[in-house]
Structure 1
Amino acid sequence: MAGGSILGNRVQRKEDPKFLTTGGIYADDVSDPRLVGAAQAVYARSAVAHGKILSIDIEGAIGMPGVLAVHTAESLGLEPIPSPFNPAAARTLLASDKVRHVGEPIAVVVAETLQQATDAAEMIFAEVDFLPTLIDLEGALASETLIYEAAGSNAVFDTTALGLPENSDTDEFFKDCEVVISGRFMNQRVAPCPLEVRASAAVWHEGRLTQWVSSQHAQGAKAAFVAANGCDDGDLRIITPDVGGGFGAKIDAYPEEMLLGTLAKELNRPVRWRETRSESMMMLGHGRAQLQYVTMGGTKAGDVTHYQLHGIQDCGAFVGMGTILAPFFTRPMAAAVYDIPNIEVRTTSVVTNTTPITAYRGAGRPEATAAIERAMDLFAGEIGMDPVDVRRMNLIPKFMEPYTTSIGQVYDVGDFEGALDKAIEAAGYSDLRAEQAARRESGAEKQLGIGVCVYVEITGGVDPKQEDAKIEINDDGTATIYTGTTPQGQGHDTAWSMLASEQTGIPIDDMTLVFGDTDRVPVGGGTMGSRSLQQGGAAVSQAGAEIAEKAKKVAAQLLEADEADVVLDTESGKFHVAGTPAVSKTWSEVAIAAKQQGDEMTLTTTFVADMPTFPFGAHIAVVEVDIGTGQVKHLRQIACDDAGRVVNPLLLDGQIHGGIAQGAAQALLEEVRYDEDGNPITSNLADYGMISAAELPSFEVIHMETPTFVNPLGVKGIGESGTIGSTPAVQSAVIDAVSHLGVKHIDMPATAERVWQAIQAAQ
């Protein structure tokens, strides 16, 4: 280890042996004794996308074998819950006045077995007065049919609600530009597809509810469960076991989980619920779904001076988190990495009869990046300049102190041109262009495409920008770390143990991580927005340093020395007087001594960040397109992602790899689709094109470190960066491969059919 420090080394993940052998313990695996004999809940769901509920017939389900209870919103006395983003958009946890999308729960059956509950749920029928189904965003915006009548419009949120002006008249805004390009881009709807679908279990014991939930934020979700159960905060405990993927969709609480406590209390027995894959595809919040109208203007020499974006955000059927993602993240990140003096952005959030939109890896930042990177390509094509050259001449110069963009967003540090240079060099860009020219000259059936993306994103920007951490030294000298961040595969156990070991000298294998339990960790910000390392990790490091100082006081007494003379040797994990390491005290001895003095060797601390951090990077994608069939083959992906100081390169690479896979998947394959009646036609993994290793190349990851001043570790977020950089690069590469045929744009996903159609239309 360089310099004796564990940080910066490729330390193998502590988590992996369990997951690769016995496996994780997920919400549906929990075997707590209190759950013995649990009943099973299954939800009856709407088969209609939009309509007024006239009646719900549950009689056929009540008499089915094993059925213990059947409930609707009326029988449970559910009251409408107003949206915090538009109070006029209110709904009940089970549909009551109307149904708003296929799959919305309308009733719940509880039975002795899962099969019995499933059979009974199929006997529930709703009589619905059909209303026009609104699937198309612009159609919903113009329609007289309202999904929430009290809202007065299907546009349920607009940036003007934040006190921001609407975009200027486009012609007037761009009147002094020599070159103006415009485009209409659809950043399509995608499904998160975590390997673990949602599951939950609830039990009341001695007047207190304990509920296990597959969640990214147990502490944040607790308030929703308290409200749903009408109990005091102290009467509810949320436990999050291992989580098999979330990608943002498991931040919020969902109706199916929130009602279990009520059902368990009524039946006086534990109740479990687990969704099917098709239910997950219909009800677990989707991502992206943003229609973008983009205009860019500048000089014929390549200087971009004006940029205008109107993002129309699909909220889906509920006015939830997906409603505000565009205003809160797409708008401030609209300038991206470019020094464009005149920028205007407007966003409008619209409800449709589709699955609600929620956070999805990057949440608003990938949309902002995709919009401006597509515009840059169109601008370069219009003036006949290489897309790399246009980007380079418009990049914000390197800065190592806060920089404010023309849209008003303050970045911490950045070297965008440095990242682009590294990616270009690693890709062999000029050689790729030469090969592309040769293929075009020869009229080859398979043409080469090169896509470039330079990006910056905001991480750790969800309030509050702080995290607590607690470290407890046990009598045997091992340590327990308590964190408010919840891992879903990121490697928190390894990283947090490394950070604590760096400060205490306790081996990482002697540390245990506690998370996702509101009794043991009452306060926590959860895992989202790439905040975990820069806030949760910083808190753990801070706690490690502070508990070491606390321990020195006790060690000084044991060594009969002045505290100022006692040092902690982090390589051996022992305390000794400076200059005399032969006589030392272990962490175990210190912890036992503290307990004998009536104290505990425990310390809780809070780390507070003054601002978010802004990771950045550059991606180069290389694809091959078969002109005759439209088939795309992803040949190379070169990724330079700068997330500040690197704690563990192995974990960094893993996060980049996962992000690239999801980003490339959106560019090439994934899309949630509905028919004209609002029926989902991608409701399982046979119909939905989730990517696999077979469709991906080996990723070429280039490390670059520009430490931030925002936290003592110098780290930034990395969980979403790969997604943000890869999607525009891959999409641009596909378009680039066929641009010489007259193709200027292809919306994602760039499937063989869509590429072939674009070629035919251009010809």
Structure 2
Amino acid sequence: MAGGSILGTRVQRKEDPKFLTTGGVYADDVDDPRLAGAVQAAFVRSTVAHGTIESIDIESALEMPGVLAVHTAETLGLEPVPSPFNPAAARTLLAGDKVRHVGEPVAVVVAETLQQATDAAEMVFVDYEFLPALIDLEDALASETLIYEGAGSNAVFDTTALGMPENSSAEEFFADCEVTVTGRFLNQRVAPCPLEVRASAATWDNGRLVQWISTQGAQGAKDAFTAANGGDADAIHLITPDVGGGFGAKIDSYAEELLLGSLSKDLGRPVRWRETRSESMMNLGHGRAQLQYVTIGGTREGKVTHYQLHAIQDSGAFVGMGTILAPFMTRPMASGVYDIPNMEVRTTSVVTNTTPTTAYRGAGRPEATAAIERAMDLFAHEIGKDPAEVRRQNLIAKFMEPHTTAVGQVYDVGDFETALDKALDTAGYSDLRAEQAARRESGADKQLGIGVSVYVEITGGVDPKQEAAKIEVHDDGSATVYTGTSPHGQGHDTAWSMLAEEETGIPMDRITLVWGDTDLVPSGGGTMGSRSLQQGGAAVHQGAIELVDKAKKLAAQLLEADEADIVLDKDNGAFHVAGTPAVAKGWAELAVASREQGDELTIDTLFTTDMATFPFGAHVSVVEVDTSTGQVKHLRQVACDDAGRVINPLLLDGQIHGGIAQGTAQALIEEVRYDEDGNPVTSNLADYGMISATELPSFEVVHMETPTFVNPLGAKGIGESGTIGSTPAVQSAVCDAVSHLGVTHIDMPATSERVWQAIQQAGNES
């Protein structure tokens, strides 16, 4: 970019022309010669939530047209695999002895066509001995029926942070508080609903499994595929094409993909598989699903001194990633942005006969924020003070060096009060309160609600905190960047190209990005936890600097000058001796010269850091509630999300907008529901509430940058912040709109029915 830095500018996404014209190439679209003659797999799924398998009759299915094979756990010789989080919870990839949720794979049919496989799957007959279905968390905790008998309890993981003094009671813990308030909050179960459902294709090529998967990190998935296919990592080649959304659920490796290699080897033919939307709703890992008991205490002047959180996490039917999210993410972020000296946080993970839970945009941090923000609202209501001012009174003061909270979490940098002020000023907070007072005075049916949230989250916190990158310059002066992160909508191609151009001067439209191929990029942490820019981008930035240094050495040799005298004219992409730009060597010439000397103009690098970063911000939500019907209209959303140094404001705003939409959806619309027998009643998009533009206002984004010292870019994560800030703000706005009617809390989603019922109940109790 002539005359200045490309970083910090609103560069249009390189990816978009392809997606808007020819479209992406997703796992189900892959047209590779190695997949010629591929057959199709379809899975037989449990129709009951909990039961023992008495028998599986596959004979009728084997006689169906086009059927090549029908397999069960027994015919494939599948052995139970213990959970790494609780070894007593072991299961096979296809249910063998019992089923634990509706939709769990029980058998697989392979046929010449998808229709034939689907038809034959309906001819597999499974005889079940029914067991009680445990859907409710507290029922599962109390039940004598065990989902994993060997575990001895349906509580499969438990942790406590800090805690009360030994042998003390809750009454003693809060004894010094002038005011205490308790709450029971349900952070409801939601489905990720990516536009691209899961799909995969597998084949064997010269003794190696080649498999295309829709995942957030091919490198991270390799261990699971190695274990499922015989334990030889060198014999596994995973490829990730375009991915149509992940939201955390595509971090996991699932039984369906893991079994395709065995099916392909058994038949000696490539095998494809694609789930339906209903299968996706029942089997792609769900998010949130956390029941929270909170007690908050402090002075009548508004100082919070004590906070206790017990988060009961729904693991669903498997003891997988969802089991540990509460301990590892909710617990350390429990105090949020507040200076609370006395804290106790306990988490209990419980298995139920529902779809397993997993990572979902924010993964534990939105749950922690929702709990403390609702608690702050209840506390402010109890003492009769403005909720924004109570928050301000308890915020951690601005810090530009590491700060350790009462639960032992170390934050990098923070300026929470400025974020709150920016959001309140932009929203016109005092004017909104005045309008609200006028509506209440008039007794209007449509009441105004104002919700405020202040949050901090952890990003890039999964160990090891590192990422690899490789940059290769070609003979024509173009370059290829290889990254261990994997895009599924974030704009990596644009951002990584900007970072490479900034240091090398190679135009970003001449830079190609390669990801998601374990042969071409052997190591990588994938894309999750908002880690990509601060680790993957930092690796590209570091690699570009190292590449320039390498090129300077070669240019000095070719120009017969001292390396210290060589400069790079980034506007022209040429190296020359300082003061004599007429004689220069461009990237193409250097690449050719390097190859002639038996080398490649390439750099491999590994960026490492020793801590996570902590984006923060404040949101103000304004809603209108029709008290006669309970209908909620989302009027405004003001978002100040501080993600450190901004590389591309366009990408930043896009992530914030998407996050707000997803957070608002949870607050107002989305909820996975089951009937009493464990049958999903929201198993398609006709029954499950997906938000659209018609339910959303135009978002008002307030920019704020507080660079971190954790990486040279000064950047933090932004992919999850919008969700974390918006959800409690919208929920609080709904509660605030009807608080004068005696309503103190409404669980999410705040549907019209639920809001109307809360109003009626409050009226009956008054």
Bucket of the pairwise TM-score, normalised by the shorter protein: over 0.9
Q: CA deviation at 1:164?
A: 11
What residue in structure 1 maps to residue 668 of structure 2?
Answer: 668
User: What CA distance in whole angstroms lies between the structure 2 residues aligned with 1:647 and 1:78?
Assistant: 48
User: What CA distance in whole angstroms lies between the structure 2 residues aligned with 1:166 and 1:213?
Assistant: 50
User: What CA distance in whole angstroms lies between the structure 1 residues aligned with 2:60 and 2:682?
Assistant: 30
Q: Deviations over 1:184-229 (max 9, x none)?
A: 0000000000000000000001111100000001001011011111
What residue in structure 2 maps to residue 40 of structure 1?
Answer: 40
* Contact persistence 2:201–2:273 (CA under 8 A): yes
What residue in structure 1 maps to residue 607 of structure 2?
Answer: 607
Counterparts of residues 314-713 of structure 1 (less than 5 Å): 314-713=314-713
What residue in structure 1 maps to residue 281 of structure 2?
Answer: 281
Q: Deviations over 1:432-483 (max 9, x none)?
A: 0000000000011100000000000000001110000000001100000000
What residue in structure 2 maps to residue 252 of structure 1?
Answer: 252
C-alpha spacing 1:663/1:166, structure 2 compared with 1 (3 Å): farther
What residue in structure 2 maps to residue 227 of structure 1?
Answer: 227
* Contact persistence 1:167–1:346 (CA under 8 A): no
- Unaligned 5+ segments in structure 1 are none
* Contact persistence 2:161–2:331 (CA under 8 A): no
SS at match of 1:88: strand
SS at match of 2:663: helix
What residue in structure 1 maps to residue 28 of structure 2?
Answer: 28
Q: CA deviation at 1:169?
A: 2.2
User: What CA distance in whole angstroms lies between the structure 2 residues aligned with 1:155 and 1:165?
Assistant: 24
TM-score (norm 1): 0.99
What residue in structure 2 maps to residue 13 of structure 1?
Answer: 13
Counterpart residue identity of residue 356, structure 2: P
What residue in structure 2 maps to residue 730 of structure 1?
Answer: 730
SS at match of 1:607: strand
What residue in structure 2 maps to residue 239 of structure 1?
Answer: 239
* Contact persistence 1:166–1:346 (CA under 8 A): no
Counterpart residue identity of residue 261, structure 1: G
Q: Sequence identity of aligned pairs in percent? A: 81
What residue in structure 2 maps to residue 58 of structure 1?
Answer: 58
Q: CA deviation at 1:163?
A: 11
User: What CA distance in whole angstroms lies between the structure 2 residues aligned with 1:145 and 1:3?
Assistant: 70
Across the aligned residues of Structure 1 and Structure 2, the Cα RMSD in angstroms comes to 1.2
Q: Deviations over 1:603-628 (max 9, x none)?
A: 00000011000000000000000000
C-alpha spacing 1:163/1:605, structure 2 compared with 1 (3 Å): farther
C-alpha spacing 1:164/1:284, structure 2 compared with 1 (3 Å): farther
What residue in structure 2 maps to residue 739 of structure 1?
Answer: 739
What residue in structure 1 maps to residue 214 of structure 2?
Answer: 214
Q: Deviations over 1:86-118 (max 9, x none)?
A: 000000000001000000000000000000000
What residue in structure 2 maps to residue 303 of structure 1?
Answer: 303
SS at match of 1:516: coil
User: What CA distance in whole angstroms lies between the structure 1 residues aligned with 2:214 and 2:635?
Assistant: 36
SS at match of 2:87: coil
Q: Deviations over 1:389-414 (max 9, x none)?
A: 10000000000000000110000000
Tell me, yes or no, if structure 1 residue 141 matches structure 2 residue 162. no
What residue in structure 2 maps to residue 187 of structure 1?
Answer: 187
* Contact persistence 2:162–2:345 (CA under 8 A): no
Counterpart residue identity of residue 688, structure 2: Y
User: What CA distance in whole angstroms lies between the structure 1 residues aligned with 2:227 and 2:550?
Assistant: 40
C-alpha spacing 1:163/1:381, structure 2 compared with 1 (3 Å): closer
Q: CA deviation at 1:583?
A: 1.4
SS at match of 2:88: coil
* Contact persistence 1:497–1:508 (CA under 8 A): yes
What residue in structure 2 maps to residue 200 of structure 1?
Answer: 200
User: What CA distance in whole angstroms lies between the structure 2 residues aligned with 1:744 and 1:539?
Assistant: 48
Q: Deviations over 1:284-310 (max 9, x none)?
A: 000000000000000000000000000
Counterpart residue identity of residue 492, structure 1: H
SS at match of 1:425: helix
* Contact persistence 2:164–2:173 (CA under 8 A): no
Q: CA deviation at 1:144?
A: 0.2
C-alpha spacing 1:330/1:317, structure 2 compared with 1 (3 Å): same
SS at match of 1:700: strand
* Contact persistence 1:146–1:153 (CA under 8 A): yes
* Contact persistence 1:380–1:390 (CA under 8 A): yes
SS at match of 1:464: coil
User: What CA distance in whole angstroms lies between the structure 2 residues aligned with 1:586 and 1:146?
Assistant: 69
SS at match of 1:652: helix
C-alpha spacing 1:165/1:571, structure 2 compared with 1 (3 Å): farther
C-alpha spacing 1:101/1:394, structure 2 compared with 1 (3 Å): same
* Contact persistence 1:465–1:608 (CA under 8 A): yes
C-alpha spacing 1:722/1:161, structure 2 compared with 1 (3 Å): closer
- Unaligned 5+ segments in structure 2 are none
* Contact persistence 1:44–1:121 (CA under 8 A): yes
Counterpart residue identity of residue 507, structure 1: P
Counterpart residue identity of residue 586, structure 2: T
User: What CA distance in whole angstroms lies between the structure 1 residues aligned with 2:26 and 2:654?
Assistant: 22
**More divergent stretch after superposition (604-613 vs 223-232):** 223-232
* Contact persistence 1:311–1:348 (CA under 8 A): yes
User: What CA distance in whole angstroms lies between the structure 2 residues aligned with 1:2 and 1:508?
Assistant: 13
User: What CA distance in whole angstroms lies between the structure 1 residues aligned with 2:360 and 2:667?
Assistant: 15
User: What CA distance in whole angstroms lies between the structure 2 residues aligned with 1:134 and 1:161?
Assistant: 28
User: What CA distance in whole angstroms lies between the structure 1 residues aligned with 2:328 and 2:132?
Assistant: 31
C-alpha spacing 1:757/1:170, structure 2 compared with 1 (3 Å): same
User: What CA distance in whole angstroms lies between the structure 1 residues aligned with 2:9 and 2:505?
Assistant: 16
Tell me, yes or no, if structure 1 residue 263 matches structure 2 residue 260. no
Q: Deviations over 1:568-588 (max 9, x none)?
A: 111221101101112111100
Q: CA deviation at 1:231?
A: 4.1
Which stretches of structure 1, 4 residues or longer, exceed 2 Å deviation after superposition?
A: 160-169
* Contact persistence 1:337–1:456 (CA under 8 A): yes
SS at match of 2:572: coil
* Contact persistence 2:469–2:540 (CA under 8 A): yes
* Contact persistence 1:449–1:733 (CA under 8 A): yes
**More divergent stretch after superposition (577-586 vs 379-388):** 577-586
User: What CA distance in whole angstroms lies between the structure 1 residues aligned with 2:63 and 2:237?
Assistant: 34
* Contact persistence 1:436–1:447 (CA under 8 A): yes
Aligned residues: 763
Q: Deviations over 1:129-157 (max 9, x none)?
A: 10000000000000000000000000000
TM-score (norm 2): 0.99
SS at match of 1:712: coil
* Contact persistence 1:167–1:345 (CA under 8 A): no
* Contact persistence 2:58–2:124 (CA under 8 A): yes
* Contact persistence 2:189–2:672 (CA under 8 A): yes
Q: Deviations over 1:495-537 (max 9, x none)?
A: 0000011110000000000000000000000000000000000
* Contact persistence 2:401–2:412 (CA under 8 A): yes
SS at match of 1:759: helix
User: What CA distance in whole angstroms lies between the structure 2 residues aligned with 1:11 and 1:2?
Assistant: 14
Counterparts of residues 37-186 of structure 1 (less than 5 Å): 37-159=37-159, 169-186=169-186
SS at match of 1:690: coil
C-alpha spacing 1:269/1:607, structure 2 compared with 1 (3 Å): same
C-alpha spacing 1:572/1:167, structure 2 compared with 1 (3 Å): farther
Q: Deviations over 1:348-393 (max 9, x none)?
A: 0000000000000000000000000000000000000000010000
User: What CA distance in whole angstroms lies between the structure 2 residues aligned with 1:185 and 1:538?
Assistant: 39
* Contact persistence 1:167–1:344 (CA under 8 A): no
Q: CA deviation at 1:540?
A: 0.2
Q: Deviations over 1:696-736 (max 9, x none)?
A: 00000000000000000000000000000000000000000
Q: CA deviation at 1:37?
A: 1.2
SS at match of 1:576: strand
